C-alpha cells in the first residue's frame, strides 16, 4: 500500500482566506469608516489586521477616515502598527542614519477638496505617492463628512472596484434575517417606494441609495460590516453584508484578460489624474 504524500513543512494549506487574498492581490480597495465609529472610539483591532494583511498582499488600500475627534489618527496608526516609537536623541540619529524613514500614510484634506480642480489634482498626486511608497493612504477628512456618499463618490472617481463601509450597525437586517448578499436587482426592489420601510430598512434608505449609485457608476462591490467584523467580511464568504452589481458565487473565476491587468483600476486612475 502506497504511503500518502506528506505535506512539505512551511507550506500553508490553500483555504478560504487565501482564496480572497488571491482575488485582492494587485487590485485596490477603499475602506471608509463611519464618523460614529471614530466618535465612539470603537475597537480598531479587526480593521488594523485587515488593512495590514491587504498591504502585505500587494493590495492598494485607501482608508477614508473622518477627523471628528482630536488626535483620533493616533489610535488608527497604533492599530495599523505604524505609531512612531519614542526613542532617545542619539539613538534616533543612529537609527535615521541606518535607514530612511518612510513617510506617514496619513493625508489630511477637507471634505470638498476632491471636487475642486486644483486641489483635486494635488490630492490625487499625494495619494499616489503614498500608495506607491507603502501601499496605503489614510485620507483624514476634516469638516462635515457625509457618510457614505462622499467616500463612495471617491471610489467611483478613482475607479476602485471594491469599497468597504465600516458602520456601527454592520450589514442589512430585513424581515428578521441578515442579508449576507444583495445584488443590484434586489437593491432596486428594496428602494421602491415604501419597500425599504416595510422591510425594516427605512432608516438606512440614504445609505442604500448611495450604494446603488456607486454600483451603477462602476464600483463592482460594496461591503457593509461593523468595526469588529472587517477581517471576517473581507476574508470569509459568510460576511455581514455584500452588495454587488451582479450575482456572483464563490466558484466564479476571473477571465485571463482580467488577471493580466489588475492594476488598471485605482493606480492608473490616480496616475492619470495626477499628471
> What's the pTM?
0.78
The number of C-alpha atoms within 13 Å of 12 and in the hemisphere containing its C-beta is 6
Neighbours of 64 (CB within 10 A): 26
Report yes or no: 42 and 175 within 8 Å, Cβ to Cβ: no
Residue 77 has pLDDT above 80, yes or no: yes
Domains of the chain, by residue range, sit at 22-82+102-251+261-274
Report yes or no: 53 and 236 within 8 Å, Cβ to Cβ: no
What value does the mean pLDDT take over residues 94-118? 66
Using alpha carbons, select from 142, 195, 157, 181 the residue that is nearest to residue 62: 157
Q: Grade residue 31 by pLDDT with cuts at 50, 70 and 90.
A: very high
Residue 8 has pLDDT above 50, yes or no: no
Res 262: pLDDT = 47
Residue 147: which residues within 8 A CB-CB, separation 6 or more? 32, 34, 35, 66, 165, 167
Res 16: pLDDT = 85
> In terms of pLDDT, which residue wins out, 95 or 205?
205
Report yes or no: 135 and 167 within 8 Å, Cβ to Cβ: no
Using alpha carbons, select from 88, 59, 54 the residue that is nearest to residue 234: 54
Residue 271: which residues within 8 A CB-CB, separation 6 or more? 128
CA dihedral 41, 75, 163, 172 (to 10 degrees): -20
Backbone phi and psi for residue 50, each to the nearest 5 degrees, phi listed first: -65, -45
> In terms of pLDDT, which residue wins out, 114 or 139?
139
**pLDDT tens sequence across 145-197:** 899 999 999 999 999 999 999 999 988 776 666 666 677 777 887 788 777 77
Q: Grade residue 261 by pLDDT with cuts at 50, 70 and 90.
A: very low
- Average pLDDT score over the chain: 78
> In terms of pLDDT, which residue wins out, 24 or 265?
24
* Grid cell at residue 157: 472617481
Q: What is the CATH number of domain 22-82+102-251+261-274?
A: 3.40.1160.10
Amino acid at each position: 500500500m502506497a504511503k500518502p504524500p506528506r505535506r512539505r513543512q512551511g507550506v500553508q494549506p490553500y483555504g478560504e482566506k487565501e482564496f480572497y487574498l488571491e482575488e485582492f492581490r494587485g487590485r485596490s480597495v477603499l475602506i471608509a469608516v463611519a464618523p460614529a465609529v471614530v466618535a465612539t472610539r470603537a475597537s480598531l483591532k479587526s480593521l488594523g489586521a485587515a488593512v495590514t494583511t491587504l498591504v502585505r498582499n500587494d493590495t492598494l488600500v485607501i482608508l477614508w477616515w473622518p477627523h471628528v475627534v482630536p488626535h483620533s489618527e493616533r489610535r488608527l496608526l497604533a492599530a495599523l502598527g505604524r505609531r512612531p516609537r519614542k526613542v532617545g536623541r542619539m539613538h534616533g540619529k543612529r537609527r535615521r542614519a541606518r535607514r530612511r524613514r518612510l513617510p506617514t500614510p496619513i493625508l489630511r484634506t477637507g471634505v470638498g477638496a476632491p471636487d475642486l480642480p486644483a486641489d483635486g489634482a494635488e490630492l490625487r498626486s499625494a495619494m499616489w505617492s503614498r500608495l506607491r511608497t507603502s501601499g496605503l493612504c489614510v485620507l483624514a477628512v476634516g469638516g462635515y463628512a457625509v457618510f457614505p456618499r462622499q467616500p463612495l463618490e471617491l471610489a467611483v472617481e478613482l475607479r476602485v472596484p471594491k469599497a468597504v463601509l465600516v458602520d456601527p450597525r454592520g450589514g442589512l437586517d430585513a424581515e428578521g434575517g441578515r442579508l449576507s448578499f444583495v445584488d443590484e436587482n434586489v437593491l432596486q426592489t428594496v428602494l421602491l417606494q415604501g419597500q425599504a420601510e416595510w422591510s425594516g430598512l427605512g432608516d438606512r434608505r440614504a445609505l442604500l441609495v448611495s450604494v446603488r449609485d456607486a454600483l451603477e457608476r462602476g464600483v463592482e462591490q460594496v461591503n457593509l460590516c461593523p468595526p469588529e467584523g472587517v477581517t471576517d467580511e473581507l476574508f470569509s464568504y459568510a460576511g455581514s453584508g455584500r452588495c454587488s452589481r451582479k450575482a456572483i458565487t464563490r466558484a466564479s473565476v476571473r477571465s485571463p484578460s482580467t488577471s493580466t491587468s489588475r492594476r488598471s483600476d485605482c493606480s492608473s486612475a490616480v496616475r492619470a489624474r495626477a499628471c
